[in-house]
Structure 1
Amino acid sequence: MIRERTRCLAAMALATLTTLGACTSDETVVSRTEGGNVVASATNENVTVEVTTTRLAAETGEPIELMVTIKAPPDAGAKLIVPENGRLGDFDILSWELAADGTDPLSVAERRRILISTFESGSVRLPGIETKYGTRSSLVTEPVSFEISSLVEGEFDPSDFNDIRGPVDDLIENRQTFWTPTMITATSVGGVIGILAIALALGRGRRTPPRIPHEWALAELARIENEGLGGDDDATERYERIESVLRWYVAFRFGIAAPDRTSNELVEAVMSEVSINDDARAILERIVRGGDRVKFAGGVASAVDCRDALSSTREFVRETTNQMEDAS
């Protein structure tokens, strides 16, 4: 939805300034290895373990698929070791299942399809995967680093696109105008260039929505909570971040352009969304009204406000997720 608006703005700019031949906006694409390349391996004696994946980058909470293949003779007794705590380093194991293999079954002792995800961000290291064979032998693959990005932190900051609308002064009588034809032309050209710049900026900042919006939102809320909610010094900034998570979750889950709308517009849009019940609507309205108070009315959020907003946003995410699951 935001991307369509960006393209429309760019198209308007190009139609006005014919000197600009074409415009392309950079789209963030998740980096991938081609064809499920081997990213880690280990070999000892006649046992080889290979780890393949089709992606080395993901969003927080987004599943990453690994294929782990053990090549060994049957008498080696080679077998992958499942971590007892259900984790591989900072990654949670979502599934650990046998996978069919198109190669010669005599050369493959075991093949597993493993789904992992993490709520960390940045360069997150997946530790080696252990395989035991023989009576007391084992080998471990080398670690692999994945680039995990957060939609709320870093280069993508939803708070940069908050709906700030300045005052309008309509008292223009008895004023001397400076709108000469030359000034009108110059201002028009400058306005078109500004529109084009905004379109390109939005195109660069927009990322592909996460596959599982509620997991993404809960991960971001957990990140904010882990940073600490006790102090009042930066409570206003934390409150704005929590509200940004709420707005982007609504955008990802329901297709509503929540980050671009004023609080009144957002509340009206949510009222017309049948899959959001009255309790969830009340939660959203309370949080965005609080955001207006701290962003535009000179208010200051406290640590108590942040704790309440975080727990309420978490409740909103879980409530709307349960509603959609029940409806399906």
Structure 2
Amino acid sequence: MYKQQVIRRIVLCCLLGLLYPFSLLAQSPEVAAHTDTNSIRIGEQIKLHLTATLSAAQFKDAGFKILFPVLPDSLDHFEVVSRATPDTVSQQDLKVIRQTYTLTSFDSGHWEIPPVKFEVITGNGVTDSLVTAPVGIDVTTVAVDTTKAFKPIKAIQTVPWNIWDYWLYIVIGAAAALLIVGLIWYFRRRPKKVPVVHTPTVTPYEVAQQALKMLKEEKLWQQGNIKQYYTRLTDILRVYFEHQFGIAALEQTSEELLQHIKPVTKLNQQRDKLRSILAIADLAKFAKLQPTADEHEDCMVKAEEILEWTRPKEEPVSTPEEVAGKKA
């Protein structure tokens, strides 16, 4: 009795094992390919629908995936015009995933859209393939009745002119003309801006005089900074010449500067003093000459004399009474 129960259990297990693959097969999704028509003329478009039908359990299973095929841009006798993204439709307990391709053909004849393959991935990582059946399409040409006579080519017909056909261009042109006229009127009528002349409150002479005063107070040569002392001294004079007389003194050598001051009468009258300052300064800066204390003081005195000699004359300021007397 015990042996019979054991044998029955073994047979039952074997039957379940045999039926298990069939249960898996019954759960496999269904794939299909169909078109909205099976006959088109050359150049017309056709819709190819790829569908995959899944059970609700398969659709909700995160490990179960079905991969739609990716059609190339060109098939045998067919061209892919566009691709739509897959969408899902519910049908009772089933989920239908659908993707639509738009195709066209320029070859007449009976052609077949080849089978396409879907990839199925189960939760255990098992990969399987499902293939659709081919779809036949008839591509026909435009029917021509050869029994009728050829008709002559029609002459070019002139379309009558209508102003309302060009209303948009007329409006744009009128708006542009009004805008141009308005801009011209505005620029002619607007008040002209008078340039504001800013009178400098500090003259180049005053700047140079103040700079020499500060140089004397710093006592650079007394502290052994001979090169810095003469660099500052000559730069003060060069900046003064540039701002007061318009001479590019900062960009010139000593000899070039002495040549360019000749047209300036006041400055040329101090030529010997300037030459003496520049000569001692060049030797101190470039030849490392150590002038005496008297030479340091003499250079400062000559620089102050050059400033005083070339100082611009100050115009007298007229009082209101003097202006009224001149007018009378």
Q: Per chain length, whose mean CA-contact separation is higher, i.e. which structure has more relative contact order (CA < 8 Å, sep 6+)?
A: 1
Query: TM-score when scaled to structure 1?
Result: 0.34
Higher helix proportion (structure 1 or 2): 2
